Amino acid sequence: AQKVTQAQTEISVVEKEDVTLDCVYETRDTTYYLFWYKQPPSGELVFLIRRNSFDEQNEISGRYSWNFQKSTSSFNFTITASQVVDSAVYFCARLSGSARQLTFGSGTQLTVLP
Amino acid sequence: NAGVTQTPKFRVLKTGQSMTLLCAQDMNHEYMYWYRQDPGMGLRLIHYSVGEGTTAKGEVPDGYNVSRLKKQNFLLGLESAAPSQTSVYFCASSYAVSAGPTDTQYFGPGTRLTVL
């Protein structure tokens, strides 16, 4: 099976620190899509970003930024100046162009301490 | 525009009982999905549907059945619940563009199911 690996199970930081969540994926497809979702304590899954395999431009949205590197099969997520409200479980996922299945990583629990 | 809704939010079953989870979306999405979330394992796909009247198996389909009689609804059934099916169940939907099933999946709020 082509896996998505989030090696960091739990991360704790103090408010205003920067934090990077790692995601490494496996794929045999030339076309694929990568996603990040946020799951706050309330339990819902919130879509954050989608990145296509043919677009390696990094993206910044406010305090969030994503670094996509095909050479290392990584799609890392950085939160700058973290806030308590960023505390959540963050999931990385991959959708292959030839399949209809989202494969999720096991998630990273981020705790931002005041 | 409610997005994706799930009914019920919580349910407790005894082993061997049956139940149906309902997912509804008002975004006119073609594709719908059922996932289960277990601690430390992320989300795993149970079944999915690429259009009204169609269903297909995902990664962990055993013990579940699904139906998509209407485009906006996707039902997940447990015929004889087992404690191993204790989990949080998420429904999702996405719009299929001509290029294929590559669109973002939007998730419902989840259903927490406990089987005793």
Residue A18 has pLDDT above 90, yes or no: yes
Residue A87 clears pLDDT 90, i.e. is over it: yes
Tell me the pLDDT band of A2, cut-offs 50, 70 and 90: confident
d(CA B109, CA B43): 14
For residue B1, is pLDDT > 90?
no
The radius of gyration of chain A from alpha carbons, rounded to an integer in Å, stands at 14
State the DSSP H helix or E strand holding residue A52, giving kind and residue range, or none if neither: strand A46-52
B102: nearest CB among A43, A97, A107 = A97
Residue-level pLDDT at B113: 97
User: Binning pLDDT at 50, 70 and 90, where does residue A90 land?
Assistant: very high
**Binding-site residues on chain A for chain B (CB distance < 8 A):** 4, 9, 33, 35, 37, 43-45, 47, 50, 52, 91, 93, 95, 97, 99-102, 104-107
pLDDT, tens digit, 9 for 90 and up, residues A22-62: 999 998 888 888 999 999 999 999 999 988 888 878 888 89
Chain A contact for B61 (CB, 8 A cutoff): no
Alpha-carbon distance of A24 to A47, in angstroms, equals 19
Average pLDDT over residues A107-114: 97
Tell whether the torsion through CA atoms of B46, B51, B56 and B58 is positive or negative.
negative
pLDDT of B98 strictly over 90: no
Q: Is A43's CB within 8 Å of B109's CB?
A: yes
Contact of B90 with B110, CB cutoff 8 Å: yes
Q: Which two tokens stand for residue A85?
A: 């409200």
User: Are the Cβ atoms of A91 and B42 closer than 8 angstroms?
Assistant: yes
Listed in sequence order, the residues at least 6 apart from A71 whose beta carbon sits closer than 8 Å to its beta carbon are none
Q: Which residue has the tokens 């709020």?
A: B109
Range A23-40 burial, b when 16+ CB lie within 10 A, else e: bbbebeeeebbbbbbbbe
Question: Which of chain A's residues have a Cβ under 8 Å away from the Cβ of B48?
Answer: 100-101
Chain mean pLDDT for chain B: 90
Whether residue A97 has pLDDT greater than 80: no
pLDDT per residue as tens digits for the range B18-45: 999 999 999 888 889 999 999 877 899 9
The answer to whether A101 contacts B45, with C-beta atoms less than 8 Å apart, is: yes
Give the pLDDT confidence score for residue A99 in this predicted structure.
Answer: 54
Mean residue pLDDT across chain A: 91
Chain A positions in Cβ-Cβ contact with residue B50 (cut-off 8 Å): 100
> How are strands ordered across the β-sheet holding B73-78?
B4-7, B19-25, B73-78, B65-67
- Mean pLDDT (whole number) for A81-90: 97
pLDDT band at B102 (very low <50, low <70, confident <90, very high): low
Note the pLDDT of residue A29. 83
Q: Is the dihedral of CA A36, B41, B54, B20 positive or negative?
A: negative
For residue B106, what is the nearest residue in chain A, using CA coordinates? Answer: A47
Percent of chain A scored above 70 by pLDDT?
Answer: 96
